Amino acid sequence: MVTQYKLGKLTGPSAVFSGYMLLIFGAITTYFSFMAIPLILLGGIMAFSYSEVFINREEKQYKFQVKLFGLIPVGAYKKFQPGDEIRLKHVKGKYYTYSRSNRESSVAVDDCRVYLIGAGTNKKIMLGKFHSEKEAKEQVNFVTEIILSVERENGGV
């Protein structure tokens, strides 16, 4: 059974809006010159690219993947290792942008994120982004079960 979690856009809300604008103006400008095609490509990446995670319980592996333009998957499956750690982090923050009149506009972010810390490394991979702490703790328990079964198979716990 493969479980999929969409983590969100690669850029913040302001950059996503900028991506849409680049797409629109690039498409209009392409009528006059084909030199605007890079604008369309850049706008497509900014507006539509997002990241997601797949967790395969039977194979005991995960895949962090980025979908460029929302279509092209980039990423590979990796096995859970004995000694991997799971961390839960409550994130409160804001995306800020400023107008030309120097007025601040912000979008608040309040969620719980689950990270996988690789065994013997400091490499962090986000395994989920949740609105409530209860959902995040369920994810932690789900992934911890997989890691414990990997450790049992390898003669650990």
Same domain, 52 and 89: no
Helix axes 13-30, 37-48, angle to 10 degrees: 150
Tokens 């608040």 sit on residue: 108
Which of 79, 95, 124 is a domain's end point? Answer: 79
Spatial neighbors of 73 by CB under 8 A, at least 6 apart, are: 65, 66, 67
Containing structural domain, residue 142:
81-157
**Is the Cβ–Cβ distance between 138 and 114 less than 8 Å?**
no
Same domain, 75 and 89: no
Same domain, 122 and 52: no
User: Each residue of 121-138: pLDDT tens digit?
Assistant: 778 888 888 888 898 898
User: Each residue of 45-64: pLDDT tens digit?
Assistant: 999 999 999 988 888 889 99
Higher pLDDT, 152 or 33: 33
Same domain, 70 and 86: no
Same domain, 10 and 71: yes
**What's the domain count of the chain?**
2
pLDDT band at 2 (very low <50, low <70, confident <90, very high): confident
Mean pLDDT of 20-49: 93
In whole angstroms, give the CA distance from residue 102 to residue 57.
50
User: Which amino acid is it at 143?
Assistant: V
Decide if pLDDT at 155 tops 70. no
Same domain, 87 and 69: no
